[in-house]
């Protein structure tokens, strides 16, 4: 990793599928794929075993790739409270592991992430996957969607860190301008 880049681990939390994606982003906002994967656990396994498997997968990525920051998709209310609970539990594991590793961690809403990578906070999964492939210069979109979402979360976080400087310099891409506007609206 170049000294002028930031390595971010993005996590799309879940118990059945937990997406993890690691990117290096340089000062010009050019991103490079470092790692992408999905931690899978069987739905019939005891909850403790599933959380332990998610923790092992995240810990392995932390040790193998040495990110400098962790970004997790923020849990939001859904109609299915069981899904929200499972997502929140996996999110808690991710945030705990970041804290134990001494890494700064942040959460980002799905609309923030979509706006950051597509320029549209209500983009669908296919649009996010297509933009991730384009941004990272991949031959095909990452599969499954959880993997692409994790990379999008990492990119959102990396780009967010330099947004104030880029706004002042007038160097934001259209997608980054949309993200900055979404962030401004979210804060008001």
pTM: 0.84
**Per the annotation, does 146 bind a ligand?**
yes
List 24, 112, 146, 149, catalytic entry? 146
26 classed as catalytic: no
Q: What is the pLDDT of residue 53?
A: 98
pLDDT tens digits, residue range 97-144? Answer: 999 999 999 999 999 999 999 999 999 999 999 999 999 999 999 999
Q: What is the pLDDT of residue 65?
A: 98
For the chain, the residue count is 188
149 classed as catalytic: no
**CATH (one of 3.30.420.10, 3.40.190.10, 3.40.50.300, 3.30.479.30) for 5-187:** 3.30.420.10
146 classed as catalytic: yes
* Segment (H or E) for 38: strand 31-40
3-class secondary structure, 132: helix
Q: What mean pLDDT value characterizes the chain?
A: 87
Q: Taking the domains of the chain in order of start, what are their residue ranges?
A: 5-187
Distance CA(66)–CA(68), nearest Å, equals 7
């Amino acid at each position: 990793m170049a000294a002028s880049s930031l390595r971010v681990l993005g996590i799309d939390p879940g118990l059945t599928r937990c997406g993890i994606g690691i990117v290096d982003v340089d000062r010009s906002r050019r991103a490079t794929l470092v790692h992408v994967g999905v931690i899978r656990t069987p739905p019939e396994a005891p909850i403790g075993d599933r959380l332990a498997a998610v923790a092992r997968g995240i810990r392995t990525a932390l040790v193998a790739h040495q990110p400098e920051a962790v970004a997790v998709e923020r849990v939001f209310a859904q109609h299915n409270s069981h899904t929200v609970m499972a997502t929140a539990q996996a999110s808690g594991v991710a945030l705990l592991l970041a804290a134990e590793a001494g890494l700064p961690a942040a959460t980002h809403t799905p609309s923030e992430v979509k706006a950051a990578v597509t320029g549209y906070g209500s983009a669908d999964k296919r649009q996010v996957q297509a933009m991730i492939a384009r941004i990272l210069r991949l031959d095909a979109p990452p599969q499954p969607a959880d993997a692409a979402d994790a990379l999008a979360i990492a990119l959102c976080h990396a780009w967010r860190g330099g947004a104030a400087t880029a706004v002042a310099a007038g160097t934001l891409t259209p997608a980054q301008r949309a993200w900055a506007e979404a962030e401004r609206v979210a804060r008001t």
